[in-house]
Amino acid sequence: MILRLDDCNYSTSIKYHPREENAGYLDHNVTIIPQSVPVEFILIHPANSIRALIGNVSTAFLSVTWLSNEIETLSLQNLLPADHEVGADDRNLWKTLESIGTQRPENIKNLIKKL
């Protein structure tokens, strides 16, 4: 997906969850945002030019929706391997995210279209 975004000339930044390990995107054309920086700080920064927040199932989507109605929230839930199955807590969170407009594209092509 990172390569597809790069092919479309999108500037991509990655911010891992504080408990998540770096997944090795340093060899791609991405900016790594320090894990210790809350996503809310990034969203309210005056130089923010974020077009979309893309992730799995995250409360960061709630923050984005509350802080800006111009940033798309796109879940990768339908694009991830089966071993990334969400648990009951995430399913409950997903119901909330869906109610605020977070979308789950069925494939990468549809994800790119939403940008």
Domain limits for position 97: 2-114
Return the pLDDT at 92: 82
* Residue among 108, 48, 111, 31 nearest 74 (CA): 111
Print pLDDT tens along the chain (115 aa). 777 887 888 888 888 877 777 666 566 678 888 888 888 888 777 666 788 888 887 888 888 888 888 888 898 888 877 666 666 667 788 888 889 899 999 998 898 888 8
Return the pLDDT at 89: 67
Return the pLDDT at 33: 84
* Residue among 75, 48, 65, 6 nearest 33 (CA): 48
How many domains does the chain contain in total? 1
* DSSP sequence for 42-82: HHHSTT----EEEESS-THHHHHHHH-SSSEEEE-TTTS-G
